[in-house]
Amino acid sequence: MIFRILSIAIPFIWFGLLGGVSFLEAPLKFQAPGITLGLGLGIGRLVFGVMNKIEILFGLMLLISIIIAKPTGKFVKISLATVLLLLLLETVWLLPLLDIRAQAVIDGTGTPFSNMHIVYIAFDAVKFLLLFALGVDLTKQNLKFAV
Q: Over the stretch 66-98, which tens digit does the pLDDT of each residue have?
A: 999 999 999 999 999 999 999 999 999 999 999
Instruction: Report the predicted TM-score, pTM, of the whole model to 2 decimal places.
Output: 0.94
- H helices within the chain, ranges in order? 2-20, 26-29, 37-69, 74-89, 95-107, 115-146
Query: Can you give the pLDDT at residue 114?
Result: 82
Buried-exposed string 102-129: b where 16+ CB fall within 10 A, e elsewhere: beebbeeeeeeebeeeebbeebbeebbe
Q: For residues 39-58, give the mean pLDDT.
A: 96
**What residue spans define the domains of the chain?**
2-146
